[in-house]
Amino acid sequence: MANLLEAQDRNNRIVLDTTVSADRIVKIPAMNGHQGDDGRVVPFVIVQGPKQLPVNMQNKSIDLVGTDHDGRIKISGATYKPINMAGGMLDFTIPGAFYQAVGDYQQAYFRIKDSNNQVISTINVAFTTLAGADYMTTGDSRIYNGYVKQSMAGIEQEVADWVNQVKGMLSGTQGAADVARSAVQALLAAISANQVATFGGNNNFTGVNKFHGVTEIDNLQGPARQALFNYTDNKFNGLASQLDSITGRLANVLRTDSDWTRDYTLGGCLSRANNGNDFALSKYHIMQNVNLIIGRGDVKVDNDQEYNEAQIYLPWVVDNSDFAMSQIYFWDGYALPRLDITSKKLNISIRGKRHDINRLSLLIISFDR
């Protein structure tokens, strides 16, 4: 059983010791909040060693991961304000999603990551969500990941920029067509000859003339004819070029790069299910420079531990600046993916039904490399 330690205070800041052993849990009353709280700020100082010297947090980040009283996983994202990172001082803001289910957190810990997004230290903590007298219930506690919201905001902006670009191109094409149509109308109105037309004679229309019904011309010549041909050739050549450009863009951004494939390698606690429904991957190019990688199927969890680490070596290179999420279909399980830097390796912290077949799904939004 883990030992519960009371949090220490240093100059009105809660002390987080990175060297506390894994079987110790720091109880932090300052993190306790009422149901419905949003944006609770807790001041921390990060220390290490017997003398509790400050940790230089420059080029490092910290987030909070927890499983609430109802068993829902919460991941804060980097929701902190640097105060003196060289001295390990920061103010951490706890998102409102952490205060949904009343009761003690089943498990919670702070993660400290280096500049490569690798976890270098974890600090177990304990806190509670209290019943709120004025809190209006909006539903059950839900899984929350602050990093997903940040990544999706960037993707939404990419889509909006591309749509506006296509709208601008189509608007220019419509304008060119309007100009060509106006030129043809002006030319027809300008055909002139004599004021009085005679059958079989030479006529010169100099006034305004109207032709009702079908008009047939065996031979049309003159400067206006040539000007019309030159103008319409130029405009319609430009129109064709713009249409070809739009077609080429659409063909480039909406395509299937790879249909379902099992060209991957599993590592760690994962192995192939070999049951006819093995985990498979697909890659789609959905817009300029943006790809969608989808994976689903069965894997086998070969480990006696409750919490396991695994790897999937993908057929394609991804980066930790991309977005990844996964899910394992086990009532008490989870799968948290972590991308390496410009690598085919995908790390997954996983919990599933041990020594048995589990259904796994994966989604990665990546950029061209």
By the 8 A CB rule, do 6 and 29 touch? no
The average confidence (pLDDT) of the chain is 85
pLDDT band at 135 (very low <50, low <70, confident <90, very high): low
Ramachandran class of 257: left when φ > 0, alpha when ψ lies in -120 to 50, beta otherwise: alpha
Mean local confidence (pLDDT), 81-107? 97
| C-alpha–C-alpha distance, residues 220 and 207, integer Å | 19
- Of the listed ranges 6-10, 144-148, 214-218, the one predicted with least confidence: 214-218
| Model confidence pLDDT, tens digit, residues 10-36 | 999 999 999 999 899 999 999 999 999
Using the predicted structure, report yes or no on whether residue 346 has a pLDDT greater than 70.
yes
Using the predicted structure, report yes or no on whether residue 159 has a pLDDT greater than 60.
no
Q: Within 13 Å and on the Cβ side, how many CA atoms surround 205? A: 11
Is the model more confident about 232 or about 116?
116
Residue with tokens 């695994």: 310
pLDDT band at 199 (very low <50, low <70, confident <90, very high): low
pLDDT band at 235 (very low <50, low <70, confident <90, very high): confident
Mean local confidence (pLDDT), 39-64? 96
| Model confidence pLDDT, tens digit, residues 207-222 | 777 777 777 777 777 7
pLDDT of residue 147: 80
| Model confidence pLDDT, tens digit, residues 314-344 | 999 999 999 999 999 988 889 999 999 999 9
pLDDT of residue 30: 96
